[in-house]
Structure 1
């Protein structure tokens, strides 16, 4: 078993208890709040995004988690979002918070939902910060106290201080596996062809894939990777889903 597979197994075990609890069937409103429009992909889009994410465990697991969410496979969605979250994926941490807030795939737990939302807002991405604050206003005193306790444990396992080095190590590892000209020649092209059905030679191809985006320089440098990610998320235009009000029984009656 590789180190990455071992870590993914641990991530799966972390939420086994929650999954075994047998959550109730979520309402249509809850599903609407948790399933993102981008979860729904046609086969061509999924194939292209899978190739692009192949060397990035955060992107790869987030992608498959989104696919699982679109299909209603919530146990898979939670497991895969959790694995992506281990590699500093703030969007996956946000999606987990929505699952707990709305009780989709897990028993509803507003305190734990807030803890995940706070983790997702660690880099102060505006949309995540706003959502976190909306959740906080819906918690009663006891829930807030537990949320802070849960949050400390989550930061120890998924916070940037420990999660970013995991992704950096994966990026560094993939850099050692890239091949090229041994005499230093490059013309900026990175294109592969797929043989046509029944083809006997490489010349008999149909279409192909441009892999330049996969090996873009910024994706091969952890600091540049996070700088691009920060620029994308800080513009506030991402889809985060609504934080609907908690049920009456979850609110402070005072």
Structure 2
């Protein structure tokens, strides 16, 4: 049950496009655009999918801001996407830190900054998830000596605010506030065993016609920070089949 809930919430994050978009069948291979390099296929969702994720993420600011960032990226609103991923990054969200590295590398919504992109990639790789480590090392090989020196300076400042030492306690405080708002059963029934739902787009809470099952939102492991990080680590450590594409050159400059 724990694994099912984890993958129901996280596949759009854990398996999002770390590789270049492939050329369509039968057409000549074309270099992916910067937007394709930085956009995940799952950034684009229908209303029901988005609303389901939004409500389940309500107790977890990292997931909520990550969702808003993905939505903005799917619309090509890169400055807004960067703002939302940065908010998620404050709550130790490594995937959002990875997305910021791609946005800065490709110069989407702001001028390209490869040194800052590497600093975000290094931060995303803090827990040594294989995909993020590989991308970080590929970026490092592309940097000039001057860019490497500045990347290290940028990285120290980012770690002070977004590294796990600062960001995990921030997340834990937010989760504690959310946990305090969860109401259990007066008869001792576990919330995991009851139907918790909300209407989608109007209607009665009790009609059951078009509702969202919110039980994953109250799963006990999601309300325990240590268990939450353990599940996230297991997902990322096991996602070994995801390919990471080489960073593209910018404006013809290697």
Decide: shared fold, TM above 0.5. Answer: yes
**Do residues 136 (structure 1) and 129 (structure 2) align?**
no
Match of 2:214 in 1: 211
**Residue aligning to 2:156:** 152
Deviation (angstroms), 1:248:
7.2
State the Cα distance separating 1:182 from its structure 2 match. Answer: 2.6
- Output the TM-score relative to the length of structure 2: 0.81
The aligned residue for residue 8 of structure 2 is none
Residue 235 of structure 1: how far off its partner (Å):
1.7
- Give the TM-score taking structure 1 as reference length: 0.81
Q: Does the CA-based 8 Å contact 1:65-1:76 persist in structure 2?
A: yes
The Cα offsets for residues 128-166 of structure 1, whole Å up to 9 and x where unpaired, read as 000000000001111100000000000001000000001
Alignment equivalent of 1:91, drawn from 89, 95, 101? 95
Provide the residue aligned with 1:10 in structure 2: none
Could you say which residue in structure 1 is the equivalent of 2:233? 230
Equivalent in the alignment of 1:71: 75
Query: Could you tell me whether the CA contact under 8 Å between 1:74 and 1:105 is conserved in 2?
Result: yes
Structure with greater Cα Rg? 1
Aligned residue in 1 for 2:174: 170
Gaps of 5+ in 1: 1-26
Q: Deviations over 1:198-228 (max 9, x none)?
A: 87xx655524332211111110100000000
- Change in 2 beyond 3 A, CA 1:30/1:149: same
Alpha-carbon distance in 2 for matches of 1:165, 1:99: 26
Does the Cα contact within 8 Å between 2:197 and 2:215 map onto a contact in 1?
A: no
More displaced stretch, 235-244 vs 120-129:
235-244
**Alpha-carbon distance in structure 2 between the residues aligned to 1:121 and 1:198:** 44
Aligned pair partner of 1:119 in 120, 123, 128: 123
Query: What runs of 5+ residues in structure 2 fail to find an aligned partner?
Result: 1-30
Supply the RMSD in Å over aligned alpha carbons: 2.4
